[in-house]
Structure 1
């Protein structure tokens, strides 16, 4: 029969201390493990939130940047169009004034009788070459009848020399041109069915229409079809 010796109070106390120390150590280790796990999860969540917020800020910045760029482009385009319209308006005013001044000077051409006779001859010949007919009529202002008759003789003579064909041109005194015109003639052919308006006013109008691109190049140094760049 074995004997169980009762533990003394000191022994019991020591055992309790050991057990308490062990439990405390386990508790501390577990608490430290939980603390580390919490710190790790916090860092992960924090990083995730930072990335989300950064992405949101970047997206908002990109949106505002695009809006600002679009607004800037619209403003630039609007200003460019306004400038272009002002330039075009100023150019058109200049061209209008140019042809208005030219119109005022048309009457001066008829003042130099010799030069005017040569101009009338060429206008009659131009009509004759275009019509290519043997008989033509010419209409003119009453004030120009005498000088037109001389121009007709000159035109007939030159036509004969240039083409070896006879040309009969008569002055139609039954239907004079208006005295409000600056000069020139109307050449009539095919029995009165076709006429070529070679009055000064009509020639200036044609010049304004047909020669405008060349005039633009001469005045502004650019082709009319050239695009306007911002």
Structure 2
């Protein structure tokens, strides 16, 4: 028969201390494990937040940088257009002034050199005769040009007959309807019915010259490269 020995109080206390120490150690290990896990999760979340915020900042910076670049381009383009318009406006003023001065000089020439003016009138009338190719035409002019136009008419009539192999043409100087006295000169030629007309006044010829010769005038004044630079 085995003998059961009862544990003494000291032995019980010792066992309790062991059990308490074990439980405490387990608790410490568990607490340390939880702490490490919490630190790891905190680091992961912190990294995520840092990356997310960094990406947000980068995106915002890129957006603002792009907006700033576009704003700069718009400003440069606006300034360039304003400068271009100022240059074009100044050039147009110069060209307008040039043709205005030319118109005044045409009027002066018509009044100063009668022989040269009559030659010009003859050629203007001849041009109308060839274009209309009719038996009768009328010519309008300034009242003060009556004498010069009649002389030019007679010369033009003979030259026309000669060049057209004897074809006659009647040229009537219209004394009822006149060109304005403020006109620079020239003539207005109409066919027999008055339905077809040729405007050979100096003002009209200058307008044609302004249209046809403008590219050459611009090149002469401003240069080919500048014209290409500011071409519309």
Q: What TM-score, normalized by structure 1, do the two folds share?
A: 0.82
The aligned residue for residue 107 of structure 1 is 107
CA deviations on 1:109-166 (whole Å, 9 max, x unpaired) are 2222332222112101111121111222223334333333332233233323433251
- The 1-side partners of 2:33 and 2:180 are apart by 115
**Do 1:139 and 1:186's aligned partners in 2 also have CA atoms closer than 8 Å?**
yes
Q: Unmatched 5+ residue regions in structure 1?
A: none
The aligned residue for residue 121 of structure 1 is 122
The aligned residue for residue 94 of structure 1 is 94
Moved more, 182-191 or 126-135: 182-191
CA deviations on 1:154-201 (whole Å, 9 max, x unpaired) are 323332343325142424252344433332122221233332221212
Structure 1 residues 14 and 179, CA gap change in structure 2 (3 angstroms): closer
CA deviations on 1:14-55 (whole Å, 9 max, x unpaired) are 434433332233222212211211111111111121122123
- Displacement of 1:97 after TM fit? 0.8
Moved more, 17-26 or 105-114: 17-26
* Structure 1 stretches of at least 4 aligned residues deviating more than 6 Å after TM superposition: none
- The 1-side partners of 2:13 and 2:145 are apart by 150
> Any residues of structure 2 matched to 1:74-223 within 5 Å, and which?
74-110=74-110, 111-172=112-173, 174-175=175-176, 176-220=178-222, 221=224, 222=227
Q: What TM-score, normalized by structure 2, do the two folds share?
A: 0.82
CA deviations on 1:69-122 (whole Å, 9 max, x unpaired) are 333233223222322221222122112211111121012322223322221121
- The 2-side partners of 1:3 and 1:11 are apart by 18
Moved more, 218-227 or 45-54: 218-227
Report the number of matched residues: 227
**Do 1:156 and 1:166's aligned partners in 2 also have CA atoms closer than 8 Å?**
no
**Do 1:217 and 1:223's aligned partners in 2 also have CA atoms closer than 8 Å?**
no
Q: Unmatched 5+ residue regions in structure 2?
A: none
Question: What is the Cα-based RMSD across aligned positions, in Å?
Answer: 2.8
- The 1-side partners of 2:91 and 2:42 are apart by 72
Secondary structure of 1:191's counterpart equals: coil
Secondary structure of 1:170's counterpart equals: strand
Secondary structure of 2:139's counterpart equals: strand
- The 2-side partners of 1:124 and 1:85 are apart by 42
Structure 1 residues 154 and 172, CA gap change in structure 2 (3 angstroms): closer
